[in-house]
Chains A and B, each alone.
Chain A
Amino acid sequence: MTVNQVAVFLENAKGRISDLCQVLADADINVFSMTIADTSDFGIVRVITSDNEKAEKVLKEAGFAAATSQLLGIEIEDKAGRLAQILAVLKQNDIDIEYLYSYITKMGTALILVKVKDIAYTEKVLADNGIKLLNHKIF
């Protein structure tokens, strides 16, 4: 299944990430996961929160450029070699990964969140190769 994420533009300026978190805090939004893609000129913060819709709204109101997007969630055993196995399947099927990050659930499994162009196709490829996708809501 897919997981919803909010991405936010961060100008390369002092205190911007702190400002962003303060906006979420003031709206009583809990952050489950946060990653930052940084370039020399700007950053993109990607968050999964307790209420993404509200997070996007309050961030925009506070003057941030933000957008929600869907990621593919793949649940895997927290064990050496499992991630490599999955990525090999994607590679063999010519599926480009725009970006990827991981999240360890409370149940001790790892959740891999992947941004791909065609989610439905990727899901099918993984299922055909016997790879378990996230099939319950964890956020």
Chain B
Amino acid sequence: MNYYDKQIECMPRSEMEVLQGERLVNLVKKVYDTVPLYRDKMNAIKLKPSDIKGLQDMHKLPFTEKQDLRNSYPYGMFAAPKKDIVRLHASSATTGKLTVVGYTKKDIDIWAEAVARCLVMTGANPESTIHIAYGYGLFTGGLGMHYGAEKLGATAVPVSSGNTQKQLQLLQDFQSEFLCCTPSYAVYLAESIVKAGMTMADFNLKAGIFGAEPWSEAMRNTIESKLKIKAYDIYGLSEICGPGVACECAEQSGMHINEDHYFPEIVDSDTLEPLGYNKTGELVFTTLTKEGIPLIRYRTFDLASLSDEKCKCGRTLVKLNKIAGRTDDMLIIRGVNVFPSQIESVLLNCVGVEPHYHIYVDRIDNLDTLEIHVEMSDKLFSDEAKEIDKLHKKLTNDMLSAIGVSAKIKLVSPHSLARSEGKAKTTTDRRKGKL
């Protein structure tokens, strides 16, 4: 099975643009009529639905921000009557209110189909057994992958997150071929397998579909060598649907976006001017077919680039290049932009340090300080202080040249840093209130 929906996934660009244009025109009419926020936003810039005649008019439309969703909590931006809403999801609220999204029956179907396409991209078929270790609940990860697996006709194993011992047992007993979880949890699982005295020969894993947090190429290498699988990146966010917005194919060189439903743009994060292909900027999505809570030019705060290069897999869907970081979890340290993903890459490249680290940012005597705690391991340890000093210096120097700001590296006891079973929290910013 090469494609889930060949007609769409391999559609010539010109046809895709016509389809997207028609859907956009309908969408704009619908939100103008049903969502007061969009009517107000459009009226404010004197834009009428009839001004939008196709994709070429996309740039005229106003942006949508996370704050718009928060302000309209819970149902203010729903375009469908409440009786048609069959499910709600909400995104984790690290600050302030949750953002809630509603799905109609058709929204759930389209989402499931998008995930089914992604699963096929990574090699799954109706015979596959898919172990889903994303959390089930308000978070879209678990249920999103679940519905996609069922849509494909594969066997979904709804394990949800946590209870690692049970995860290992079920992975072994059911001989699942596909693993879905966060990349940091995949690393944790690999460690747990070694600890339990098991080897990959006890399992039948072929591929992993990892998302919900940005991860580096170095982390992919670690996961692939430890779990002896192909590790694929999947992208999504609850505001757009959840996982399944985009996913890597066997080429592992960018994630094909299900752009017939979720239209991507890359814009300059300061000027918000659209950037073309192969330029890094902020990723923005327009949900072309959503009924529950359609969004126009929704700002994701994810930094990425798009590519329309012909893919060897045959798909014509544009590719989203690995998320370079988020404009909002970006740390600004002494004026320098630092992404946790850069720090992770340095650690991984530095003589095989396991990616267990925690970043502390503080402000001492009006100066930003960056301290990175890195776990010592049996592999790195030496009875000679000079050898450990050498490692310490290498980490310090490599970190400085990679991120452009000096960081204090502290080597800490093995397994002393908290392990995540969901989204990894790798940064503690203690500057709050000191700025």
Q: Which residues of A contact B (CB under 8 A)?
A: 5, 7, 9, 11-13, 16, 37, 39, 41-42, 44, 46, 60, 63-67, 69, 98-99, 115
Contact = CB atoms under 8 A, between A and B. Distances in A.
Count chain B CB atoms within 10 A of each CB in A5, A11, A46, A99 and give the residue with the most: A11
A12 B415 CA distance: 15
B382 interface: yes
Interface stretch (B29-37, B131-139, B405-413): B405-413
A69 B392 contact: no
A64 B383 contact: no
User: Which of under 10, 10 to 19, 20 to 34, or 35 or more describes the interface residues of B?
Assistant: 20 to 34
B383 A5 contact: yes
Nearest to A60: B378
B416 to A, nearest CB: 7
Given A37-B385, A39-B388, 9 more contacts: A9-B413, A11-B412, A11-B416, A13-B412, A39-B385, A39-B389, A60-B378, A63-B413, A98-B386
Contacts of A63: 413-416
Contact of B414 (A7, A16, A64, A98): A64
Given A66-B378, A67-B378, A98 B413 contact: no
A99 B385 CA distance: 9
A42 B386 contact: no
Given A63-B416, A64-B413, A69 B377 contact: no
A61 B416 CA distance: 13
A63 B415 CA distance: 6
A42 B414 contact: no
Contacts of B415: 63
Q: Is the interface of B mostly helix, strand, loop or mixed?
A: loop
A7 B392 contact: no
Contacts of B382: 7, 67
A41 B414 contact: no
B381 interface: yes
A69 B387 CA distance: 14
A41 to B, nearest CB: 7
Contacts of B381: 7, 9, 65-67
Nearest to B415: A63
A16 B413 contact: yes
B245 interface: no
Contacts of A5: 383
B415 to A, nearest CB: 5
Count chain B CB atoms within 10 A of each CB in A11, A60, A64, A65 and give the residue with the most: A65
A46 B376 contact: no
B383 A41 contact: no
Contacts of B388: 9, 39, 42, 44
Contacts of A99: 384-385
